[in-house]
Amino acid sequence: MTYEEAESYINNTPKFTKKNTLENTRMVLDAMDHPERKMKLIHVAGSNGKGSVCAYLSSILKAAGKEVGLFTSPHLVKINERFKINEEDVSDELFLEAFEGVMDLVRQLLKEKPEEFAHPTFFELLFLMGIYIFDKAHMEYVVLETGLGGRFDATNVIEKPLVSVITSISLEHTEYLGDTYAKIAGEKAGIIKEGCPVVYDGTRKDVEAAILKKASEMHAKAYAIRPDMYKILMNTQKTIDFSMDTGYYEPMNVSIDTVAEYQVMNACEAVTAALVMDEGLTETDIHSGMKNMRWEGRMEPVLPGVILDGAHNDSGIEEFVKTARQLGKDTKVTLLFSCVSDKDYDGMIRTICEEIPFTEVIVTEVGAYRMVPAEKLGSIFRKYTKQPVAEISSVEEAFDEAYARKGDGILFCVGSLYLVGSLKEILRSRKNA
């Protein structure tokens, strides 16, 4: 089998099913002789910021000279991005080996236990491949990002993480997770394990109550991070320096390489988790890891005056507009926007129109079967703004038009990680042409 055939098989695997349980994933891990039990695991859930927290923690561990694997989703361009070994994407060769190794066990279980075992879903298959990859690469530490929710997420088969982290909660995937912040927080809190500490975003009281309830049940020490625990000292629009004083550890000044102020909360959660896991990480390790972290698609400059941001829900857009207002206050702002059908794109568009004084917007289409037609997105923008709106279904043509219109100003490309991934692939192909 080739890499391309494996990728095609994975992409055609169903994303969701009602019949698969965590026991289904455990059955494959049983057949693998549970390599995850040899790893020191960090488990991260949340609606926004969990990928960034994972990346910060991986960067800190690497700065400390540790062997560290990182499992995140989604990917922007190539599926290998979901598996990093010491901050490098896994090779095609190891990816293919992992796919074949896991699928051999899946086929064996389907044959031996047809009544008990079901074929893994898309995410379950990738998670199992990640465990195979990190075992084969002899990773001492592995940072795991949940896929959807927490309690029933495939990653939740792990038994005793060094620390769990729950980032900010928003009203997402309400058909699966519940229709209130508290219900969704309760699902995310399902990753808290008996006696294992948890670091969480304590901004909302209803969210905090749900997390603390679960932490109490699991006898897990809980560490809240709140906005009043940090203070931004300087924002150069390239780096942000801030001080953090959580009361749990000695105060610390930290610098992160980003233009996005929303990353400060994520950084505070990561620093606290790094200290909570009690693995001998030094302040020097933390400073180096935080400064050197790179996380694609989050307020990422890709060309002069062009910034990509993967904000893809209400909370993400609220954070995006704060940074976009700051960066665009003295210059012309052009927007390129797209979104997928299971997001509240009406609310996202309304927030953008109310909060950002953009000059014009171009809308386009992404997400395959979840695509929202450009005409529909354009009509919603026209409800909330009198600025010019152009509808271009081709992402590449839409980007070229938006880039031409930006002039000496700033172009923000926002609304979906699918949009960010498509644009990065376009820019990469042009660079290599």
Give the tokens for residue 362.
């171009």
Q: pLDDT by residue (tens digit) across 6-16?
A: 999 999 998 87
pLDDT at 172: 66
* pLDDT at residue 4 in the model: 95
For residues 306 and 245, what is the distance between their CA atoms, to the nearest angstrom? Answer: 34
Q: Which helix (H) or strand (E) holds 103?
A: helix 92-112
What does the pLDDT look like over 367-409, one tens digit per residue? 878 899 999 999 999 999 999 999 999 999 999 999 999 999 9
Cβ(258)–Cβ(219) below 8 Å: no
Question: What 3-state DSSP class applies to 25?
Answer: helix
pLDDT at 63 over 90: yes
Helix (H, G, I), strand (E, B) or coil at 419: helix
Domain residue extents for the chain: 3-292, 300-432
CB 83 within 8 A of CB 75: no
For the stretch 189-226, pLDDT in tens is 999 999 999 999 999 999 999 999 999 999 999 999 99
Q: Would 3-292 and 300-432 be classified into the same CATH topology?
A: no
Task: Return the pLDDT at 125.
Answer: 97
- The yes-or-no verdict on residue 432 having pLDDT over 80 is no
Given this structure, which CATH class describes domain 3-292? alpha beta
Q: Say what the pLDDT of residue 175 is.
A: 63
Taking the CA atoms of residue 83, residue 85, residue 89 and residue 92 in that order, the dihedral angle to the nearest 10 degrees is: -80
Q: Which of 72, 28, 292, 311 is nearest to 168 (CA)?
A: 311
The percent of the chain in helix, strand and coil, each rounded to the nearest 5, is: 45, 20, 35
pLDDT digits (tens, 9 = 90+) for 337-365: 999 888 889 999 999 999 999 999 999 99
Query: Between residues 313 and 344, which one has the greater pLDDT?
Result: 344
By CB atoms closer than 10 A (0-12, 13-18, 19+), residue 426 is middle
Burial of 175 (0-12, 13-18, 19+ CB in 10 A): exposed
- Three-state SS for 170-209 is CCCCHHHHCCCHHHHHHHHHHHCCCCCCEEEECCCHHHHH
Q: Report yes or no: 133 and 92 within 8 Å, Cβ to Cβ.
A: no
Picking from 334, 396, 321, the residue whose alpha carbon sits closest to that of residue 362 is 334
**pLDDT in the model for residue 407:** 93
- Give residue 176's pLDDT: 62
Tens of pLDDT, residues 93-116: 999 999 999 999 999 999 999 999
- Hey, which CATH number is domain 300-432, 3.40.50.150, 3.90.190.20, 3.30.1520.10, 3.50.50.60? 3.90.190.20
Residue 271 has pLDDT above 70, yes or no: yes
pLDDT confidence of residue 79: 95
Instruction: Report yes or no: 413 and 309 within 8 Å, Cβ to Cβ.
Output: yes
What is the structure's pLDDT at 177?
Answer: 72
| pLDDT > 70? residue 420 | yes
Whole-number Å distance between alpha carbons of 159 and 375? 48
